[in-house]
Structure 1
Amino acid sequence: MDSSSTRRRNTRRKLFEAAVTLIAEQGFSSTTVDEIAERAGVAKGTVYYNFASKTVLFEELLRHGMELLADSLQQAADEMAERGGGRVDALDAMIRAGLDFIARYPALTRLYVAELWRTNRAWQPTLTQVRRRTVAVIESILREAVAAGELSPEVDIPLTASALFGMVLVAALDWQSFQPERSIDDVHAALSRLLQGRVGGVAR
């Protein structure tokens, strides 16, 4: 990668980080391009050079963040498979990966949850698309688990995948907002027990 590409990538990263922090703090409508540029330490024109508008920046922010999450979940499942773990073990590894991601990007997660139900936003189709991709990663492991006999064939795969995804999101945000004294290991252990005892059908 040449130096100009590296600079642009770094600039876009700074803009993403500045935008997600500001929008999480004060909302999309109240956040200005000037503020994003100032927080990122770049000129206002740099924002428009990289993104056509604030709306485009936010849409790309959501897309980029959720694609990172989907990749993290898939990587966790793949690594568990390489170690010889079962599919329920892979789901547990994905829960941990999701918690790690949310702990690393709490502002992005809060934004995602806040925007998920606002159907009048210009970026709603993008949000729906990236959510579908993330949930599909969980669905694929559930299907493998059912096929391998690790889960009951009566499991509703789409609904269970959505429930697992939502469980991690809500539990992590509740942890950070109301129970910050807990460690990530504590939170993972609680969700892991729920997975193993209620979804897997067998307490381990």
Structure 2
Amino acid sequence: MSAAKQHDDAASAGRDVKRRPARTNATRLKIFSASLTLIGERGHHAVTVDEIAAAAGISKGSVYYNFGSKSELIGQLLRFGTDILLERLREPSGAATAREELAGMVRGALLFIDDYPAFAQLWISEMWHSPSDWREELIELRGQVLGVVRDAVRRSFLERGVAPESVPAGVVDVTASALFGATLILGQDRQVFTVEHDIDTCVRTVLGSLDAAPAAG
């Protein structure tokens, strides 16, 4: 079957199936799990709705029933993964110091990537891909993640005796972006090239960017 014919069939199925919320969370979880497995193997462009449905053990109509289209499925998958990542990032919020909290965030994010490598692959491939079908969603989701990291970075500056007014404009944002970006790339690199690198070493390395940030004096 040609790609054009598959596209027409998918569009027709999407029109025929009334789009409603998933009947059960279990169905969506099956679809998300199957999607991540297939995306991890071949990338989302090469994966079809038929393959996702088969891997999830449901009908193609059920996929459209829950999501309406493959594009919407990927968008919801990005939100699903980000929600889990945000939970991991917030777990160390009760740490004694902001630096310990940031260390816990980096560790949590690296373990998240260990658990969901295909999600990290999808995020990286689409975040810096222009244009991306999910650009607006990714900007919003990235903002949510960086907001959590940014708060801890700001507190870490205060703990080091840095007065807020002495911090150059944008330094907190840049530091938060550097921490998250380095963690994301390093976590993905561990999956492919450097599996022997232990988590503790990775955490210390990523936090090195904090040491280059402004200090009191």
TM-score by length of 2: 0.79
Equivalent residues in 2 for 1:12-51, closer than 5 Å: 12-51=28-67
Residue pair 2:22, 2:28 contacting (<8 A) in 1 also: no
Q: Residues of 1 paired with 2:179 and 2:147: CA distance? A: 12
Residue pair 2:33, 2:56 contacting (<8 A) in 1 also: yes
Equivalent residues in 2 for 1:152-163, closer than 5 Å: 153-154=166-167, 156-163=171-178
Larger mean CA deviation between 55-64 and 23-32 belongs to 23-32
Gaps of 5+ in 1: none
- After superposition, give the CA deviation of every residue in 1:118-142 in whole Å (9 maximum; x if it has no partner): 2322211001100110011011112
Residue pair 2:154, 2:172 contacting (<8 A) in 1 also: yes
Q: Residues of 2 paired with 1:6 and 1:124: CA distance? A: 24
C-alpha displacement at 1:99, in angstroms? 0.8
Say whether residues 1:71 and 2:82 are aligned partners: no
Which residue number in structure 2 is paired with residue 177 of structure 1?
Answer: 192
C-alpha displacement at 1:71, in angstroms? 2.2
Aligned CA RMSD, in angstroms, stands at 2.4
SS of the residue aligned with 2:47? coil
Amino acid at match of 1:32: T
Which residue number in structure 2 is paired with residue 129 of structure 1?
Answer: 140
Which of 91, 99, 103 lines up with 1:88 in the alignment?
99
Q: Residues of 1 paired with 2:54 and 2:69: CA distance? A: 16
Amino acid at match of 2:140: Q
C-alpha displacement at 1:72, in angstroms? 1.4
C-alpha displacement at 1:92, in angstroms? 1.0
TM-score by length of 1: 0.84
Residue pair 1:175, 1:187 contacting (<8 A) in 2 also: no
**Which entry has the higher C-alpha Rg, 1 or 2?**
2
Which residue number in structure 1 is paired with residue 11 of structure 2?
Answer: none
Q: Residues of 2 paired with 1:34 and 1:54: CA distance? A: 10
Larger mean CA deviation between 16-25 and 49-58 belongs to 16-25
Residue pair 2:40, 2:117 contacting (<8 A) in 1 also: no
Which residue number in structure 2 is paired with residue 118 of structure 1?
Answer: 129
Number of residue pairs matched by the alignment: 192
Residue pair 2:22, 2:66 contacting (<8 A) in 1 also: no
